[in-house]
């Protein structure tokens, strides 16, 4: 399973897997306890594949940050917990993403990222790469369009 089906729902702990769409929203299953919930369209929901982290130069997709954490931890859980103090969390995140923007990435954001990573890791969701087929399809379409000109 990729990050394209994993959701963060504002006001609800943990992460959720998108199961199905309904007329008034969708059904999601908690990765924490496996319970299914119905989420309305009024809820603030984010796909993990759409979240990015501010750096001094650009925004880095969350999947790349997770990849860097995985690389640092050799594919295992993080060496710091999400309940560590602010200084320890910032030191850890600086090791993972040295040029992150300290003014726009708050300790609460770092806590969430570490907590989410560990939850995904515990559930065996470790595929943080972008699916290559979509980028290849785009390139092929671009070549076809430029060939006609």
User: What are the residues facing 40 on neighbouring strands?
Assistant: 25
* 44 found inside a domain: yes
- Domain extent for 16: 3-48
- Which is nearest to 66 in space by CA: 102, 119, 15? 119
The percentage of the chain sitting over the pLDDT mark of 90, rounded to a whole number, equals: 72
Using CA atoms, how far residue 109 sits from 51, 72, 106, in Å, is: 11, 19, 5
Question: In this predicted model, what pLDDT tens digit does every residue of 89-127 receive, in sequence order?
Answer: 999 999 999 999 999 999 999 999 999 999 999 999 888
End-to-end CA distance of the chain: 40
* 147 found inside a domain: no
Question: In this predicted model, what pLDDT tens digit does every residue of 42-96 receive, in sequence order?
Answer: 899 999 999 999 999 999 999 999 999 999 999 899 999 999 999 999 999 999 9
Number of domains in the chain: 2
- CATH number (domain holding residue 43): 2.30.30
**Looking at the structure, do residues 116 and 105 belong to the same domain, yes or no?**
yes
**Looking at the structure, do residues 40 and 82 belong to the same domain, yes or no?**
no
Question: In this predicted model, what pLDDT tens digit does every residue of 21-34 receive, in sequence order?
Answer: 998 899 999 999 99
**Residue 17 confidence class, pLDDT cut points 50, 70, 90:** very high
* Mean pLDDT of the chain, nearest integer: 87
**Rounded Cα distance, 14 and 10, in Å:** 10
- Say whether pTM exceeds 0.85: no
């Amino acid at each position: 399973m990729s990050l394209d089906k994993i959701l963060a729902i504002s006001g609800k702990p943990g992460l959720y897997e998108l199961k199905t769409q309904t007329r008034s929203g969708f059904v999601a299953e908690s990765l924490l306890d496996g319970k299914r919930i119905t989420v309305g369209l009024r809820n603030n929901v984010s796909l993990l594949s759409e979240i990015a982290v501010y750096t001094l130069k650009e925004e880095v997709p969350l999947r790349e940050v997770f990849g860097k954490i995985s690389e640092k931890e050799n594919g295992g859980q993080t060496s710091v917990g999400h309940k560590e103090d602010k200084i320890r969390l910032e030191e850890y995140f600086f090791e993972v993403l040295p040029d992150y923007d300290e003014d726009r990435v708050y300790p609460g954001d770092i806590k969430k990222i570490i907590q989410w990573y560990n939850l995904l890791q515990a559930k065996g969701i470790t595929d943080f790469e972008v699916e290559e087929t979509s980028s290849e399809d785009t390139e092929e379409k671009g070549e076809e369009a430029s060939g006609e000109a």
